[in-house]
Amino acid sequence: MFTIQQVVPWGRSFDEYCRMFGLREDDLTQKILGCGDGPAGFNAEATRRGARVVSCDPVYRFAAGQIRERIQATCEEIIEQTRQNAHEFVWTSIRSIDELERVRMAAMDGFLTDFPTGKTEGRYVDAALPNLPFAESSFDLALCSHLLFLYTDQLGEAFHQSAIQEMCRVASEVRIFPLLTLGARRSPFVMPMVDEFTRLGFDVSIDDVPYEFQRGGNQMLRIRQP
């Protein structure tokens, strides 16, 4: 049974999403699915700007108050872990631990404010990879931030293949960021996924993006329908 105590919520901002996924103005006119978005601020801010975004994550089965309490309970631990591993990060766009906390808490506050309305509107859906409750080709673009590849050891190769296949089923284009594991090394699953989805006939590329916080994490995997 999935419980709130299993969640370590840590949401990134709209600006971070745009840079992580190389999103341009024309991308934001498309129908976008965020997989594993958690308490990210992307959906809230993108919707405010007129974009069409749906986010899916099992954490959305909980109430905003429960998610807020869990954020408050885990934030200090996340910040302390980041402080202990500060050498694994690039302190340029985010210049300090204190700024990191401010940026991420602001993003999560934006999410929490938007969540009740967004859930009613169907923009926040309780669902998880590799089984999504959406029809084939429901979206133009599917994004997956800090889930696939990052949790290489925890999720396994079969999960990665199934999850990517599912995103390709529901969206014309898939973008996954970063390509690194939690230990800041390139995931050993990246090239097998490139090879497999190229074999299946997709247009697959590894693209540089204008974002690097995890050291060496400045690339995304892009998979497009032929």
Q: If the chain, 226 residues long, is cut into consecutive pieces of 10 residues, what is the mean pLDDT of each piece?
A: 74 97 97 97 98 97 96 93 93 95 96 98 98 98 97 96 98 98 93 98 98 96 95
- What CA–CA distance (Å, rounded) separates 201 from 206? 16
pTM: 0.95
- What CA–CA distance (Å, rounded) separates 88 from 180? 11
pLDDT of residue 4: 60
What counts of helices (H) and strands (E) characterise the chain? 7, 7
